[in-house]
Amino acid sequence: MQTVDQIIQPHWLIPVNTRQSVLLEHAVVIDQDEIIEYGPAAAINARYEANTSTVLDNHALIPGLVNAHTHTAMTLLRGFADDMPLMQWLSEHIWPTEAKWVDRAFVEAGANLACAEMIRGGTTCFNDMYFFPDVVARCAETAGMRACIGMIVLDFPTAWAQNADEYINQGLAMRDQVRHSPLITTAFAPHAPYTVSDEPLQRIATLSEELDCQVHTHVHETAQEIEESNARYGMRPIERLAQLGLLGPRLLAVHMTQLLPDEIDAVAECGVHVVHCPESNMKLASGFCPVSKLAAAGINVCIGTDGASSNNDLDLLGEMRMASLLAKGFSQDPAALNAYETLAAATINGAKALGLEHHIGSIEAGKKADLVAIDLSACATQPVYHPVSQIVYSASRDQVSDVWVAGRRVLENGVLTTLDAERICATANEWRDKIGGY
């Protein structure tokens, strides 16, 4: 018998493959950080001896969830400014508060809180955009999470940088610092077409091509954004990004609630990835991403939560449910974004958008062992006819029992193994007292 590090044997194994398989009484073999194979449990146990065996009689095992759009440190502003439209929320509340309070300590406290929340909810990889990205990278590594860290770019000064060139240069320095990390990748993260001018966007387009690096940006989020772009540039943001050389398979376009048919065609032709953030879009009344039309055009659609200050959580299971229900209601098609397609949007589609599909996003031999176990024995998910349907339409993040990232168990029986939740929450409350004036 071959000795390996781990064997995990769930009741249901959901690999997220093109056959939309749900496998009963199968087991996954892990050695070091990699999936060796999976197969019928009896055959696996006859061929392998594991240092650690985990039997999960009531659980579904899925690939780790990929949160394709976050602002992790903004967990510290959860509930700080609610119930208002995007530009009022940003200009009157978020940006002034960030200018006053954001520093390395703020970002560390917020990122730690975000990592704890995301691991507890089954997220193993996140795609972030915020200030002090080197701090976020360090927090992710400490938590044992996988992360794509955004090299944020803005035209205006913040505590992180004073101008667009400095943002880009500091981002590139951060990218160089993490280049050997097995858990951290990077992407250019110009905030939005309305906050970044042509010259830095052109430089980002060139660097993205030279470095084969993804570009992560908010785009076509609100009707006001479209109106202002037409007034300022004489064109809509998508057309402007195309002219600047950014429309292509490295672009992650976040929100995309304001799209014309020809823009959907252009996005499809160029291979752009769309990150759907349904709860944030609804909370800010930004509009509805036409997910069914995007999928019908062959566009890769993945799911993000956005920041906890506009959501107000980092619950990707909840986001999946909302994405599927909204797709059905918006398209008036009950078959739109079915349960398995929704699970794929939160796993392999997110991996594809980040250029990580050969490493994560599905349960396959040779991929990293990023896995999530969901206990379906709760009353809310009984009886189980179709486990994928239960995960998408019924399960809560409280039913996530165990999480592995690169074979490391970062959540065990509902308990974080890499982070001190009590200390993290205490620190968050200290920041609330400072920011809120308590």
pLDDT of 128 reads 98
> Rounded mean pLDDT of 286-314?
97
- How does DSSP assign 48-93, residue by residue? EEEEEEEEEEEEEEEEPEEEEEE-GGGGGGTTTS-SS-HHHIIIII
Q: Which two tokens stand for residue 106?
A: 């703020």
Which ranges in the chain are annotated with CATH 3.20.20.140? 65-353
CATH class of 65-353: alpha beta
pLDDT of 341 reads 97
Q: What is the mean pLDDT of the chain?
A: 97
- 438 pLDDT more than 60: no
Helix (H, G, I), strand (E, B) or coil at 382: coil
**What does DSSP say about strands 2-13 and 415-416: parallel, antiparallel, or unpaired?**
unpaired
- Choose the CATH number for 2-63+371-405 among 3.10.20.30, 3.40.50.300, 2.30.40.10, 3.20.20.70: 2.30.40.10
Taking the C-alpha atoms of residue 198 and residue 205, their distance in angstroms, rounded to an integer, is 10
pLDDT of 18 reads 85
> Rounded mean pLDDT of 216-226?
97
b/e for 283-303, b at 16 or more Cβ within 10 A? Answer: bbebbbbbbbbbbebebbbbb
- 141 pLDDT more than 70: yes
Taking the C-alpha atoms of residue 284 and residue 179, their distance in angstroms, rounded to an integer, is 36
- Percent residues over pLDDT 90 in the chain: 97
**pLDDT band at 291; cut points 50, 70, 90:** very high
Taking the C-alpha atoms of residue 114 and residue 75, their distance in angstroms, rounded to an integer, is 6
pLDDT of 85 reads 87
Backbone angles phi, psi at 404, to 5 degrees: -120, 135
Which ranges in the chain are annotated with CATH 2.30.40.10? 2-63+371-405
> Rounded mean pLDDT of 27-43?
98
**pLDDT band at 319; cut points 50, 70, 90:** very high
Which 8-state DSSP code applies to residue 94?
I
Taking the C-alpha atoms of residue 129 and residue 111, their distance in angstroms, rounded to an integer, is 11
pLDDT of 286 reads 94
pLDDT of 121 reads 98
pLDDT of 350 reads 98
> Rounded mean pLDDT of 7-22?
95
> Rounded mean pLDDT of 51-80?
97
pLDDT of 170 reads 98
**pLDDT band at 222; cut points 50, 70, 90:** very high
